[in-house]
Amino acid sequence: MKFRTTAICALFSVIGISGAAMAQDPVATVVTGCATEIETYCSQVSEGEGRMLACFYAHEDKLSGQCQYALYSAASQLDQAVSALNYVAGQCEDDIMKLCADVQMGEGRILECLGSQEESVSPACKTAIAQVFE
């Protein structure tokens, strides 16, 4: 059974995190670390809208140490991804407003827009993008 939550999928869709920014996949971390719990307690749970996480919460007293660690690790990975996004957004805010204001957010379109106008992007924004996404 694939494990996905709407929040995780939406987050990655919006930020388009890949490469160095997300060295590990939090969804894969949970699927691997909680495979037994997913099969035992949550196999009938429909994906999306945080239902799988709710299932884990409902059975938290039965989760193995491995699964608990996987959930903690995935949360940490997401926290790092959000921090990276905040850093890039802060460094690139003026560039985004100036060069990409008409671009719809999501699926990496803002990053693509900045990349297509690289000659006009500020040095601080270029550095942030290189540090996080390459």
Q: Is residue 127 scored above 90 in pLDDT?
A: yes
Q: Is residue 2 scored above 90 in pLDDT?
A: no
Determine contact, residues 106/14, Cβ cutoff 8 Å. yes
State mean pLDDT over 109-133. Answer: 91
Side chain identity, residue 1:
M
pLDDT in tens, 49-91: 889 899 999 999 999 999 999 999 999 988 988 898 899 999 9
Q: Is residue 128 scored above 80 in pLDDT?
A: yes
Instruction: Kindly list the distances between the CA atom of residue 70 and the CA atoms of 48, 64, 76, 100, in Å, as whole numbers in the listed order.
Output: 19, 10, 10, 37
Is the pLDDT higher at 113 or at 9? 113
Instruction: Retrieve residue 100's tokens.
Output: 């990409």
Is the pLDDT higher at 71 or at 7? 71
Q: Is residue 107 scored above 90 in pLDDT?
A: no
Percent residues over pLDDT 70 in the chain: 82
Determine the Cα–Cα distance for residues 84 and 48; give it in Å rounded to an integer.
Answer: 25
Instruction: Retrieve residue 114's tokens.
Output: 């900045």
Residue 56, by phi and psi: left (phi above 0), alpha (psi -120 to 50) or beta?
alpha
**Band of pLDDT at residue 23, cut at 50, 70 and 90:** low
pTM tops 0.75, yes or no: no
